[in-house]
Structures are given as C-alpha cells and as structure tokens.
Amino acid sequence: MALLAFTFIVTTRQYIGSPIMCVHTRDIPKDVLNTYCWIHPTYTLSSAHWKRVGVDVPHPGVDKTRDERDKKHVKYYQWVGFCLFFQIKKLNFEHLLDLFLLSYCLTLNKELL
C-alpha cells in the first residue's frame, strides 16, 4: 500500500503542475524543449556551489562550463513512478502465485489424507 502511495505522489508531481521548466528561446518550441529536458539528465558544476549566488553565479551549481571533470550529472526522477508501478505489479503477481501454490498444496494434502 505504501508503494502505491509513493507511486501516486511521484507521478502526480510530474503530470500535474510544472515538474521541470527549461529556459528556452523562440527558436525551439517550449513543449519540445521541456520534453527534452524531462528525458535527458542535466548537470551541475561542483565549483559553482561555493560561489556567491546573485553575484558570481545565478544559482548554486550553475556557471559557465570550463572543465568536463567538474560536472556532476543529475538524473531527474521521471522513471521512478514507472519503476514503483512495475514493482507493485510484480509483488501482486508473486502474492497471487503464493496463494495459488498454497491452495494447490492444501488440495494435494487433503487428497493424500
């Protein structure tokens, strides 16, 4: 039941409201860019976390990319809802299989007695 509740919370957040908003220009449509940003991971720069916000950087972790080794890739949680859903289905299947095997074993036991 808790797994179902967490699945509902995660998927509600990504389908209701604006879970992610990419900065876009007029060249690329907003929906296309937001879909791209939702699917692909982003990154932050480790060195930009220690700079002054509003003075040196616009946001913690956002700065001009200088070194590829400084990048810390962040994967968005969009697949978590699907994984939780499939885990629920797997657990339901296993539960039904256990019930079937239990009833089968009880039937065999009654026939043997």
Closest CA to 8 of 95, 88, 75: 88
> Which residues, 6 or more positions from 60, have their beta carbon under 8 angstroms from its beta carbon?
44, 48, 49, 51, 53
The length of the chain in residues reads: 113
pLDDT above 80 (res 71): yes
- The DSSP bridge partners found for residue 104 are none
| Of 64, 68, 71, 59, the residue nearest 21 (C-alpha) | 59
CA distance 102 to 107: 9
Q: What is the pLDDT of residues 1-33, one digit of tens each?
A: 777 787 777 677 666 766 666 777 778 888 787
Tell me, yes or no, whether 113 lies in a domain: no
Q: How confident is residue 76, by pLDDT bands cut at 50, 70 and 90?
A: low
> What global pTM score does this model have?
0.43
Number of structural domains the chain divides into: 1
Give domain status of residue 51, yes or no. yes
Mean pLDDT of the chain: 79
Share of the chain above pLDDT 90, in %: 0
Q: What is the pLDDT of residue 39?
A: 77
Quick check: is 104 in a domain?
Answer: no
Residue 108 lies in a domain: no
Does a structural domain hold residue 75?
Answer: yes
Question: Could you list the residue range(s) of the whole structural domain that residue 76 is in?
Answer: 2-88
Asked whether residue 77 carries a pLDDT value surpassing 80, the answer given is: no
Question: By C-alpha distance, which of 10, 29, 9, 4 is closest to 79?
Answer: 10
Rg of the Cα atoms in the chain = 24
Integer Cα distance of 22 and 39 in angstroms: 12
Maximum alpha-carbon separation in the chain:
83
The pLDDT assigned to 56 comes to 86
Tell whether 102 is covered by a domain: no
